[in-house]
Structure 1
Amino acid sequence: MGCSSSSTKTRKSETSLKAALIIQNWFRGYKARLKARQHYALTIFQSIEYADEQGQMQLSSFFSFMFENYAHVHKEELELRHQFLESEQDTWDRHDYVDLIDVPDSYNGPRLQFPLTCTDIDLLLEAFKEQQVLHAHYVLEVLFETKKVLKQMPNFTHVQTSPSKELTICGDLHGKLDDLFMIFYKNGLPSESNPYVFNGDFVDRGQYSIEILMILCVSFLVYPNDLHLNRGNHEDFMMNLRYGFTKEILHKYKLHGKKILQILEELYAWLPIGTIVDNEILVIHGGISETTDLNLLHRVERNKVRSNLSPPFQTSRVTDTGSEHSKIIDILWSDPRGKNGCFPNTGRGGGCYFGPDVTSKILNKYQLKMLIRSHECKPEGYEICHDGKVVTIFSASNYYEEGSNRGAYIKLCSGTAPRFFQYQVTKATCFQPLRQRVYTVESSALKILKERMISRKSDLTHAFQLQDHRKSGKLSLSQWAFCMEKILGLNLPWRTLSSNLVNIDKNGNVEYMSSFQNIHIEKPVQEAHSTLVETLYRYRSDLEIIFNAIDTDHSGLISMEEFRATWKLFSSHYNVLIDDSQVNKLANIMDLNKDGSIDFNEFLKAFYVVHRYEGLMRPDVTNLV
C-alpha cells in the first residue's frame, strides 16, 4: 500500500512538473512573440523617421538651388539667404532684444535674478512642473548669457572624474520634460559634486523643448564647469523648422518668438561638438568616419557651421570651411554598424555608417578607449556594440509611442566600468498588460506606415501592375514585397508585415489593391488630380517650410506669382512630374477671393489621411508574427 501511494504521488509530481514546464515554455514563446512584434513596430518607426531625415537633407539642398534660381522673380523682397544661411556676424543687439521687453506686473511666472544661482534652477523646475511659461524677457536674457559663456569654450570640453565625483551622461531628450524630471529625481540636480553631460538633441518632437533648453542653459550658467552641453543634429534651425521646435516657439511666444529663434541660431553654432572624459572616452552626438580628425576638429571655427544641413558658402574660406563642415556632419549624424568599413548613411541621408574597424582605428589613433554617442532610439535606452567600444545612450523614454522604449543615462568614474540606469515615465498605458502595450505601439506604427503607402498610391499601383502580367489583381508575396521596397525604400520586413497590410488569398497570393483599403487622403479641392493630391500630401512638410520662408512678412499669404515660380523650382529639383496646367488650375482654385494671394499653410493643413474603422481594431486582430 505504502509503495503504491508513493508511486502515485511521484507520477502526479512528474505530471505537475511537465505541465509547469509546458506552461512556462508557452509563456516564454508568447512573450518572445510579443517582443518580436514590438521590435518590428520600432523598426517601422525608425525607418520612417530616417526617411524623413533624408527628406530634410534634400530640402536643404533645395534651398541652395532656390537661392540660385529664384532671385529674378522677387529679388528685392527675398530674404531667404540672409534668414536661413547668412547670419555670419553676431548682429543681434542685446538692448533691442532684452532691455526693451518689459515684464508686466501681471506676469505670475518665475522671475529670474541675474547673476543666476541654484535658487533659480529650483524656481524654474517648480514653475515648469506647474506648466507655467517663462517670460520672453528672461528667455532672451538666458540665451544671451549662455551664448556669451559658450563663445569662450573650446570645441571639445575636457572633463575629469574621480571616485567622489562621478559624471552622468544623458542622451537625446527631444522636448520630453518628464524624462528630465525623472533623471533629476533619480540622479539628483546638477551641482559641483554631481556633474552632467547632455549629449545633444535637447529640442524638437516633444512639446516642451523650450522648457528643457531653459533648464539646461540656466543650470549651465550656474555650474559652467560641471554641466556640459554637446551639440546634436537637432540643434539646428533647419531641423527645427520641420520637427516642431520652431512652431513651439512661435506658439508660446507669439510677440517675441522670431527674436528667440534668431538668438537660438547663434547659440547652436557655439555649442561644443564633443566632450572628452578622463582623456580616454570621447562623447559626441552621432559618430565618426574613417577620416575623422580630432586635431582638425579641435581647431575648426564651429560657429561658422550655422546649420549642418546647409552648404558652407557664406565665408570666403569655401574649401576649408567645406571640409570642416563635412567633418562636423559626420560627428553629428553618423551611426555604428556591425559591418567593417565606412559607407554612406543611406538611412538618414547624412553622415556615414562606421564599422568596428573604423572605431578601433580612430580610438587607437588618439589613445582613446571608448566612444559614447546618442542619436538612435534603443528599446532598452542604451546599447553596446563594437566589442564594447561604442555605447549608445538615449534618454527619451516612450519616444515613438507610450511604451515603445525605455530611457537611460550612464554614470562614469575613472577606473571603473560605465554603469547604466534605466527608467520609463509611467503613464496610464504603462500599467497595462504587455500585450496591450505592444498592441498600442504596433497600431501606431502600422498607422503611419499606411499613411506613407497611401501617399505613394499611384507609384505603388503602377509598380504592382507592371508585375501583374496576367492582370489578375494579385501578386506573389515576394513580388508585392519587391514593389513595396522599391517604391517606399524603407528597408522593412515586408513579408512579415504583409498580414497587417494586405489581403492574402488561400494560395498565398496578395490582392495588391487591398494595400489601400479603408484609407484615403482627404482633399479640400475635389477637382484636383489624384496624383497631385498625393504629391502635395507627401511633400506637405517640405512645402510648408518653403512657403513659410517665402512669406517674409509673416502675413500667412503668398502671391500667385511666388507660388507658381517656387512650385516650378520645387518640382524641377525634386523631379516631381506634375503638369504645370494642373498646378495653375489648383492655384486659381486656392485663390478663393481672387485677390492674387494664397493662404497656402491653411490649404496644406486640409490634406490629411482618413483611417476608416480605426476604432474597430482589437488587440487580438493585429499580429506581426
Structure 2
Amino acid sequence: MGCGTSTTATKDKKSEKALKAALVIQNWYRGYSARLKTRQRYALTIFQSIEYADEQGQLQLSNFFSFMLENYAHVHEKDPELVNRFFGSSTQDSKDRQDYLGLIDVPDSYCGPRLQFPLTFTDIDVLIEAFKQQQILHAYYVLEVLFETRKVLKQMPNFTHTKTSPSKEITICGDLHGKLDDLFLIFYKNGLPSVSNPYVFNGDFVDRGRNSMEVLMILLVSFLVYPNDLHLNRGNHEDFMMNMRYGFTKEILHKYKMKSVLMSPIPIDGDRATEKKNKVGKAIAAWGMKTDGPFSEQLTKHEWEQVINILWSDPRGKRGCYPNTSRGGGCYFGPDITSKILNKYQLKMLVRSHECKPEGYEICHDGKVITVFSASNYYEEGSNRGAYIRMSSGTTPRFFQYQITKATCLRPLYQRVNAIESSAIRMLKERMISRKTDLIRAFQLQDRNKSGKLSMGQWAFSMENVLGLNLPWRSLSSHLVATDKDGNTDYMSSFQDIHIQKPVKEVQSTLIETVYRYRSDLQIIFNVIDSDHSGLISMEEFRSMWKLFKSHYSVRIDDSQFDELAERMDSNKDGSIDFNEFLKAFYVVHKFDKLSKSDTKLA
C-alpha cells in the first residue's frame, strides 16, 4: 500500500509539473503571438497613415492645377493646348468610333486574345485564359471595349437596382487595385459572373497593382456580356488625376507605348476652352470634369462636393459628421449619421469599400456598415487578407477570406512580420528625411538647454506636429531614435542612417528635401505641361512652373537656388531638362538597414 501511494504521488507531481510547463509554454506563445500581431498592426498603421497623407497631397495638387491654369496661360499664351488637356473631352461622340479604330491595325503576327463583338461568355473565358498566360490585349480591342462600355453606361442610370432571393445570392467585392491574382481567385472560388451568379464590384479597380489594365478589361467585358448582372461602382481611383500618381497611367504607357494619354486625339478649339475656363468652379476644373457639353451636363460646385463626399468618406465610431483629416477630402461619419440615412431611405445596411482592413472586411456601426476590401497583400506581401461577401434576401452576409501567397508561403510568421514592418519603417524614415530641416527646427525649439536631447514626450510631439501622421511614436521610437538610460532621446540620431542623395553637392539641403518631398506632384505637373511629349522641358517652362508651384504651396526657397540647380542639371547646356531624369537624381540612401535583422521588434 505504501509503495503504491508513493508511486501515485510521484505521478501526480510529474503531471503537475507537466501541466505547469504546458501553461508556461502556452502563456509564452500567447504573448509572443500578441507581440507579433501588435507589430503587424503598427506596420499597417504606418502604411495607411502615409497612404492617406499622400492622398491629401493629391487633393492639394488638384487645387494647384486650377491655380496653374489661371496663371500659366498668361505666361504661355501660345500654348492653349495646356488648357485643352483639362477642359477638352477625352472622347467625342460615338460617331467617331471608327475614326479612332481605323488608325489601328491588328497584325497577323498578334497572338494574343481576339474579341468578337457582340461579346459573349466565351470572350470572358478567352480573356481570362490569355491574361493567365501574361498576354497583352491589343490596343484595337481595348478601344472597342472602352467605346462599347461608354455607350452602354450612358444609357444606364447613375443608381442601379438589383434583386436577390434565398436561391439567388449576389457577390460583393471591394477594392482590387490591379491585383489580377485576387480576381482570378475570386472567380475560381465563387464562379464567373452570369445571370445566376451576379456581382457588384465596389470601385478602385486600378492603380497600385501591376495588372490594372487586365483587371479593368475583364470587368468591362463581363459587364458588356451581363450588363444587368454585373454592377460597377465608381471609386476614388476611377479618376485620371489619381491614375497619374498611383500607377495606372504609367502602366498604360508601358504596355501600349503611348506617348501620352492626356491629349485628346482630335483637336479642340482652344479659344472656346479658354473662354469656358472662367465660367467653371476651380474644383471642377481641377478634377477635369467635362465642360464642353450642355450646361445641364456640367457639375455645380455643390454637386462636385457631393461626389467627393461619396467617394472619399469613411465611417468612424465618433458621432456626427466632421472633416476627414486623414485623407484631406470627404468626411468621417458616425453611427448616428448611418442610422439617419438608412432610416430616411428605408435601407438596412451600407456595404462600402475604400479602406484596407487586416482581415479583408470589418463590421461597424452596430452591424449597419460593412467595409469589404478584396486586394490581399495590399501594402506588402502578407500585410492583409482579401475578402468578398455573398448576400441574399432574408439571410445574413457571408464572408469569404483569402490571401494570395507566393514567396512568403513557406516562411515562418515572425519572418513575414519582419518583412512587413521593415518595409513600413523604411517608408516612415523616408518621410522623416524629406522633412529633416523642419524636424530639426521643431526639436531645437523644444531643446531649450541646447543639450541635443529631448524627453520621449517632446520628441513624439515634434514628430507628430511636423509629419502629421497620427502614429504611436513612443512605441515606434526604438526604431527611429537613440535613447539614453534615462529615456531621453538623442534627436539628431533620427537621421543618422538615412540621407537624400544630392545630384549637386553645392545645392542646399532644404531645396533637396523640398524637391524630394514633392517629387510625385512635380512629375505629374511636368507630364501635363510637356506639350510636345518630348520628355524634355525648357528652362523657361521649368522656372515658370517652379515659381507657380512655390507660390501655391508656400515654399520658402529663394528662386536663385532653384535656378542654380536647374543650370547645373542642364548638363549639355541646350536650354532643356529631362525632368523625369531630373527627379530620379533625388533618391534616399539607407546607410544601415537594421530592420533586416531577425530580432527586429516593434513592440
TM superposition score category, shorter chain reference: over 0.9
Q: Is the 8 A contact 1:142 1:217 kept in 2?
A: yes
CA 1:81/1:467 → structure 2, altered by over 3 Å: closer, same or farther? Answer: same
Partner of 1:82: 84
Partner of 1:173: 176
1:389 has 2:368 as partner: yes
Partner of 1:541: 520
Q: Is the 8 A contact 1:311 1:322 kept in 2?
A: no
Q: Is the 8 A contact 2:443 2:462 kept in 1?
A: yes
> How does 1:586-605 map onto structure 2 within 5 Å?
586-605=565-584
Deviations 1:388-429 (A, max 9, x none): 000000000000001000000000110000000000001121
Partner SS, residue 420 of structure 1: strand
Q: Is the 8 A contact 2:262 2:528 kept in 1?
A: no
Give the whole-Å Cα distance in 1 for the aligned partners of 2:564 and 2:260. 36
1:190 has 2:190 as partner: no
Q: Is the 8 A contact 2:501 2:585 kept in 1?
A: yes
The number of residues matched between the two structures is 583
CA 1:409/1:24 → structure 2, altered by over 3 Å: closer, same or farther? Answer: same
Q: Is the 8 A contact 1:246 1:261 kept in 2?
A: no
TM-fit CA distance, 1:497? 0.3
> How does 1:465-480 map onto structure 2 within 5 Å?
465-480=444-459
Amino acid at match of 1:398: N
1:106 has 2:109 as partner: yes
TM-fit CA distance, 1:183? 0.5
CA 1:140/1:256 → structure 2, altered by over 3 Å: closer, same or farther? Answer: farther
Partner of 1:373: 352
Q: Is the 8 A contact 2:260 2:533 kept in 1?
A: no
Greater RCO (CA < 8 Å, at least 6 residues apart): 2
Deviations 1:284-316 (A, max 9, x none): xxxxxxxxxxxxxxxxxxxxx988946887775
Q: Quick one: which of 211, 214, 217 aligns to 2:214? A: 211
Partner of 2:250: 247
Q: Is the 8 A contact 1:591 1:597 kept in 2?
A: yes
Partner of 1:153: 156
Give the whole-Å Cα distance in 1 for the aligned partners of 2:264 and 2:312. 23
Partner of 1:286: none
Q: Is the 8 A contact 1:236 1:308 kept in 2?
A: no
Partner of 2:415: 436
Q: Quick one: which of 339, 343, 349 aligns to 1:360? A: 339
**Percent of pairs with identical residues:** 74
Partner of 1:288: none
TM-fit CA distance, 1:66? 0.7
Partner of 1:72: 74
Amino acid at match of 2:81: E
Q: Is the 8 A contact 1:436 1:619 kept in 2?
A: yes
Partner SS, residue 362 of structure 2: strand
Give the whole-Å Cα distance in 2 for the aligned partners of 1:319 and 1:616. 51
Q: Quick one: which of 62, 65, 68 aligns to 2:64? A: 62
Deviations 1:343-393 (A, max 9, x none): 000100110000000000000000001000000000000000000000000
Deviations 1:199-218 (A, max 9, x none): 00000000100000000001
Give the whole-Å Cα distance in 1 for the aligned partners of 2:265 and 2:364. 39
Partner SS, residue 63 of structure 1: helix
> How does 1:292-311 map onto structure 2 within 5 Å?
309=287
> How does 1:367-516 map onto structure 2 within 5 Å?
367-516=346-495
Partner of 2:5: 3
TM-fit CA distance, 1:85? 4.0
Q: Is the 8 A contact 1:78 1:552 kept in 2?
A: no
Q: Quick one: which of 556, 562, 566 aligns to 1:577? A: 556
Q: Is the 8 A contact 1:64 1:311 kept in 2?
A: no
TM-fit CA distance, 1:490? 0.4
Stretches of structure 2 that go unaligned for 5 or more consecutive residues are: 267-282
1:624 has 2:602 as partner: yes
1:563 has 2:542 as partner: yes
Partner of 2:228: 225
> How does 1:40-51 map onto structure 2 within 5 Å?
40-51=42-53
Give the whole-Å Cα distance in 1 for the aligned partners of 2:38 and 2:121. 46
CA 1:316/1:259 → structure 2, altered by over 3 Å: closer, same or farther? Answer: closer
TM-fit CA distance, 1:165? 1.5
Partner of 1:12: 14
CA 1:312/1:260 → structure 2, altered by over 3 Å: closer, same or farther? Answer: closer
Give the whole-Å Cα distance in 2 for the aligned partners of 1:2 and 1:540. 82
Amino acid at match of 2:544: A
Partner SS, residue 430 of structure 1: coil
CA 1:377/1:166 → structure 2, altered by over 3 Å: closer, same or farther? Answer: same
Pairwise CA RMSD of aligned residues?
2.0
**Which deviates further from its counterpart, 510-519 or 90-99?**
90-99
CA 1:386/1:307 → structure 2, altered by over 3 Å: closer, same or farther? Answer: farther
Give the whole-Å Cα distance in 2 for the aligned partners of 1:510 and 1:541. 32
Deviations 1:219-250 (A, max 9, x none): 11111111110000000000001000001001
TM-fit CA distance, 1:261? 9.0
Q: Is the 8 A contact 1:78 1:550 kept in 2?
A: no
Report the TM-score when normalising by structure 1. Answer: 0.90
1:202 has 2:202 as partner: no
Q: Is the 8 A contact 1:233 1:308 kept in 2?
A: no
Q: Is the 8 A contact 1:308 1:328 kept in 2?
A: no
Q: Quick one: which of 126, 131, 144 aligns to 2:129? A: 126
1:524 has 2:503 as partner: yes
Amino acid at match of 2:7: S
CA 1:307/1:364 → structure 2, altered by over 3 Å: closer, same or farther? Answer: farther
Amino acid at match of 2:372: I
Amino acid at match of 1:136: A
TM-fit CA distance, 1:57? 0.3
**Which deviates further from its counterpart, 201-210 or 325-334?**
325-334
Q: Is the 8 A contact 2:65 2:286 kept in 1?
A: no
Amino acid at match of 1:441: I
Amino acid at match of 2:240: F
